[in-house]
């Protein structure tokens, strides 16, 4: 079988991963810019394929999880023009084999459902909470084979941007900490880093603790760009899985 391209199109970045029937390959991250043309996307994809030594005709499909509707037609046209293949969208063209118990199922982001499917097929636990540290911080709850619902909270980087936009003197932060033990900062940078990293970890621990009242002994898996940063000081995260959504797209495509 040929190569497939997996796309996790988020509000801030789009992650692209090469894969085949044996598993995931290299991944790349591009800024999500729906205003760009399909030619712009196509030229970037061609550059990635060239770097990996793959001929465009070897790509059999683009498999996409997208929460950015204006981007969808661009990727569709790009796939047809540059790769001569079809774009396959999770939840629309590609079945996500979970019972969606949301009141309005169409409102659930494809990335959330794909991540939940990946976690369901990877872990044996009956109850699972999938935390995604993206533009927003989301907690998705899975019981058995059902997506039950979840929580949406501010994102770490969104909070940083809001602080920077509303204040004149706060410096930029790198969200790194020197110790996994909380201590008061002795500079504005330390205060921000400690407050954001430990603050979000405490938020996650508190929310998981409250959700556990409805979900007996949930297994908590974290993904997203800042999962490792927050997860290292969280008491509730059981496992970090940076490629959870990509793994879910891969599973859905080859199990379809």
Asked whether the beta carbons of 67 and 34 are under 8 A apart, the reply is: no
**228 Cβ contact partners less than 8 Å away, ≥ 6 residues apart:** 240, 242
Catalytic residue among 40, 111, 124, 217: 111
Q: Is 111 a catalytic residue?
A: yes
Task: Quickly count: other Cβ atoms within 10 Å of residue 251's Cβ.
Answer: 18
Nearest to 42, CA basis, from 106, 85, 95, 89: 85
**16: Cβ–Cβ under 8 A, 6 or more apart, which residues?**
5, 6, 7, 8, 27, 28, 29, 30, 45, 48
Taking the alpha carbons of 101, 104, 105, 109 in that order, is the dihedral positive or negative? negative
Catalytic residues: 111
């Amino acid at each position: 079988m040929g190569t497939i391209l997996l796309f996790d199109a988020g509000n801030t970045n789009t992650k692209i991963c090469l894969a085949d029937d044996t598993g995931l390959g290299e991944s790349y991250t591009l800024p999500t810019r729906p205003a760009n043309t399909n030619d712009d996307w196509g030229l970037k994809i061609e550059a990635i394929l060239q770097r990996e030594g793959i001929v465009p005709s070897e790509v059999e499909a683009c498999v996409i999880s997208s929460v950015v509707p204006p981007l969808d037609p661009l990727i569709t046209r790009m796939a047809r023009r540059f790769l001569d293949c079809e774009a396959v969208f999770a939840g629309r063209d590609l079945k996500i084999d979970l019972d969606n118990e949301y009141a309005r199922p169409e409102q659930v982001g494809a990335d959330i459902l794909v991540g939940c499917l990946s976690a369901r097929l990877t872990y044996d636990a009956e109850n699972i909470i999938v935390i995604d540290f993206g533009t927003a911080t989301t907690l998705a709850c899975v019981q058995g084979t059902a997506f039950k619902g979840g929580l949406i909270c501010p994102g770490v980087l969104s909070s940083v941007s809001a602080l920077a936009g509303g204040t004149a003197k706060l410096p930029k932060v790198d969200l790194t900490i020197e110790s996994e033990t909380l201590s008061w900062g002795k500079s504005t940078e330390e205060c921000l880093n400690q407050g954001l990293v430990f603050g979000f970890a405490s938020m996650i621990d508190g929310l998981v603790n409250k959700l556990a009242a409805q979900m007996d002994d949930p297994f908590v898996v974290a993904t997203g760009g800042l999962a490792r940063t927050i997860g290292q000081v969280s008491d509730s995260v059981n496992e970090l899985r940076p490629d959870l959504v990509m793994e879910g797209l891969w599973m859905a495509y080859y199990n379809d």
